[in-house]
Amino acid sequence: MPQTRTLNINGESKAVDVPDDMPLLWVLRDVLAMTGTKFGCGIAQCGACTVHLEGKAVRSCVLPVSAVGERAVTTIEAVGNSPAGARVQKAWLELEVVQCGYCQSGQIMSASALLTRTPAPDDADIDAAMAGNICRCGTYVRIREAVKRAAADRAAS
Protein backbone atom coordinates (compact mmCIF):
# COMPACT_ATOMS: atom_id res chain seq x y z
CA MET A 1 0.00 0.00 0.00
CA PRO A 2 1.14 3.55 -0.54
CA GLN A 3 3.09 5.14 2.23
CA THR A 4 4.95 8.36 2.57
CA ARG A 5 8.68 7.99 2.23
CA THR A 6 11.51 10.41 1.75
CA LEU A 7 13.95 9.93 -1.09
CA ASN A 8 17.33 11.58 -1.44
CA ILE A 9 17.46 12.65 -5.06
CA ASN A 10 20.20 14.88 -6.42
CA GLY A 11 20.97 16.04 -2.90
CA GLU A 12 17.39 17.06 -2.13
CA SER A 13 14.85 15.34 0.08
CA LYS A 14 11.70 14.39 -1.80
CA ALA A 15 8.64 13.12 0.04
CA VAL A 16 6.52 10.83 -2.08
CA ASP A 17 3.46 8.75 -1.38
CA VAL A 18 3.80 5.69 -3.59
CA PRO A 19 3.51 1.89 -3.40
CA ASP A 20 6.52 -0.09 -2.11
CA ASP A 21 6.97 -2.02 -5.32
CA MET A 22 6.83 1.04 -7.60
CA PRO A 23 10.08 1.22 -9.58
CA LEU A 24 12.14 4.34 -9.01
CA LEU A 25 11.79 5.15 -12.74
CA TRP A 26 8.09 5.89 -12.45
CA VAL A 27 8.51 7.80 -9.20
CA LEU A 28 11.00 10.06 -10.96
CA ARG A 29 9.04 10.49 -14.17
CA ASP A 30 5.38 10.41 -13.25
CA VAL A 31 5.39 11.59 -9.64
CA LEU A 32 8.33 13.99 -9.44
CA ALA A 33 8.09 15.12 -13.09
CA MET A 34 11.82 14.48 -13.57
CA THR A 35 11.53 13.25 -17.12
CA GLY A 36 15.22 13.16 -17.99
CA THR A 37 15.34 9.50 -16.93
CA LYS A 38 13.78 7.46 -19.71
CA PHE A 39 11.53 4.45 -20.03
CA GLY A 40 12.80 2.05 -22.66
CA CYS A 41 11.95 -1.56 -21.86
CA GLY A 42 10.85 -2.01 -18.24
CA ILE A 43 12.95 -5.16 -17.80
CA ALA A 44 16.53 -3.86 -17.42
CA GLN A 45 17.47 -4.76 -20.99
CA CYS A 46 18.15 -1.38 -22.57
CA GLY A 47 19.65 0.93 -19.94
CA ALA A 48 17.60 4.03 -20.90
CA CYS A 49 16.48 4.36 -17.26
CA THR A 50 19.98 4.27 -15.74
CA VAL A 51 20.52 6.39 -12.61
CA HIS A 52 23.19 6.34 -9.89
CA LEU A 53 22.54 4.80 -6.51
CA GLU A 54 25.41 5.83 -4.23
CA GLY A 55 27.40 6.47 -7.40
CA LYS A 56 26.76 3.10 -9.00
CA ALA A 57 24.80 2.74 -12.23
CA VAL A 58 21.49 0.96 -11.66
CA ARG A 59 18.42 0.34 -13.81
CA SER A 60 15.65 2.34 -12.23
CA CYS A 61 12.91 0.49 -14.13
CA VAL A 62 13.40 -2.61 -11.94
CA LEU A 63 14.48 -0.92 -8.71
CA PRO A 64 11.54 -0.84 -6.29
CA VAL A 65 11.35 2.42 -4.42
CA SER A 66 11.31 0.49 -1.15
CA ALA A 67 14.82 -0.81 -1.91
CA VAL A 68 16.22 2.70 -2.37
CA GLY A 69 15.86 3.74 1.23
CA GLU A 70 17.87 6.79 2.16
CA ARG A 71 20.64 6.10 -0.30
CA ALA A 72 21.63 8.92 -2.61
CA VAL A 73 20.05 8.86 -6.04
CA THR A 74 21.61 10.90 -8.85
CA THR A 75 19.82 11.43 -12.13
CA ILE A 76 20.78 12.95 -15.47
CA GLU A 77 19.44 16.30 -14.29
CA ALA A 78 22.26 16.54 -11.74
CA VAL A 79 25.02 14.28 -13.02
CA GLY A 80 26.78 17.36 -14.37
CA ASN A 81 27.49 18.40 -10.79
CA SER A 82 30.03 15.60 -10.48
CA PRO A 83 33.42 16.00 -12.15
CA ALA A 84 33.07 12.77 -14.12
CA GLY A 85 29.51 13.59 -15.17
CA ALA A 86 30.48 17.07 -16.35
CA ARG A 87 33.39 15.70 -18.36
CA VAL A 88 31.16 13.08 -19.96
CA GLN A 89 28.54 15.66 -20.94
CA LYS A 90 31.24 17.90 -22.38
CA ALA A 91 32.83 15.08 -24.37
CA TRP A 92 29.38 14.01 -25.62
CA LEU A 93 28.84 17.48 -27.09
CA GLU A 94 32.37 17.94 -28.38
CA LEU A 95 32.16 14.73 -30.36
CA GLU A 96 28.47 15.22 -31.23
CA VAL A 97 27.60 11.75 -30.00
CA VAL A 98 23.88 12.33 -29.80
CA GLN A 99 21.33 11.64 -32.50
CA CYS A 100 17.72 11.15 -31.36
CA GLY A 101 19.04 11.36 -27.81
CA TYR A 102 16.44 9.20 -26.12
CA CYS A 103 18.96 6.64 -24.82
CA GLN A 104 21.63 9.22 -24.04
CA SER A 105 20.58 9.99 -20.47
CA GLY A 106 21.23 6.35 -19.70
CA GLN A 107 24.44 6.25 -21.72
CA ILE A 108 25.79 9.29 -19.89
CA MET A 109 24.85 7.85 -16.50
CA SER A 110 26.61 4.55 -17.32
CA ALA A 111 29.67 6.33 -18.69
CA SER A 112 30.03 8.69 -15.74
CA ALA A 113 29.70 5.81 -13.26
CA LEU A 114 32.40 3.98 -15.21
CA LEU A 115 34.78 6.95 -15.12
CA THR A 116 34.24 7.47 -11.42
CA ARG A 117 35.18 3.86 -10.78
CA THR A 118 37.76 3.43 -13.55
CA PRO A 119 39.34 6.76 -14.46
CA ALA A 120 41.26 5.42 -17.46
CA PRO A 121 39.11 2.68 -19.00
CA ASP A 122 40.33 0.51 -21.86
CA ASP A 123 38.06 -0.90 -24.56
CA ALA A 124 37.17 -3.94 -22.48
CA ASP A 125 36.18 -1.73 -19.53
CA ILE A 126 34.03 0.38 -21.84
CA ASP A 127 32.38 -2.70 -23.34
CA ALA A 128 31.63 -4.11 -19.91
CA ALA A 129 30.18 -0.88 -18.57
CA MET A 130 28.27 0.23 -21.65
CA ALA A 131 26.95 -3.02 -23.18
CA GLY A 132 23.78 -2.75 -21.13
CA ASN A 133 22.82 0.47 -22.90
CA ILE A 134 21.14 0.10 -26.29
CA CYS A 135 21.27 2.92 -28.83
CA ARG A 136 18.96 2.40 -31.81
CA CYS A 137 20.54 5.32 -33.68
CA GLY A 138 23.84 3.44 -33.54
CA THR A 139 26.00 6.08 -31.88
CA TYR A 140 28.30 3.45 -30.35
CA VAL A 141 31.41 4.46 -32.28
CA ARG A 142 31.18 7.98 -30.93
CA ILE A 143 30.19 6.83 -27.43
CA ARG A 144 33.44 4.87 -27.24
CA GLU A 145 35.45 7.85 -28.43
CA ALA A 146 33.67 10.20 -26.07
CA VAL A 147 34.28 8.00 -23.03
CA LYS A 148 37.97 8.05 -23.91
CA ARG A 149 37.88 11.81 -24.48
CA ALA A 150 36.26 12.35 -21.08
CA ALA A 151 38.89 10.13 -19.45
CA ALA A 152 41.71 11.99 -21.20
CA ASP A 153 40.16 15.28 -20.13
CA ARG A 154 40.66 14.29 -16.51
CA ALA A 155 44.21 13.19 -17.16
CA ALA A 156 44.93 16.57 -18.74
CA SER A 157 43.35 18.64 -16.02
Binding region for another protein (CB under 8 A):
1-2, 4, 13-19, 21-23, 26, 29-43, 45-46, 48, 75-77, 80, 89, 92-93, 96, 98-105, 108, 126-128, 130-144
Write the CA distances from 10 to 59, 103, 137, 148, integer angstroms. Answer: 16, 20, 29, 26
d(CA 116, CA 150): 11
Number of neighbours of residue 102 by Cβ within 10 angstroms: 15
- Minimum distance from residue 39 beta carbon to another protein (Å): 7
- Minimum distance from residue 127 beta carbon to another protein (Å): 4
Q: By C-beta, is 56 or 136 nearer to another protein?
A: 136
d(CA 122, CA 21): 37
- Minimum distance from residue 89 beta carbon to another protein (Å): 5
Q: By C-beta, is 71 or 86 nearer to another protein?
A: 86
- Minimum distance from residue 47 beta carbon to another protein (Å): 10
d(CA 153, CA 91): 8
Q: Which DSSP symbol is given to 64? A: B
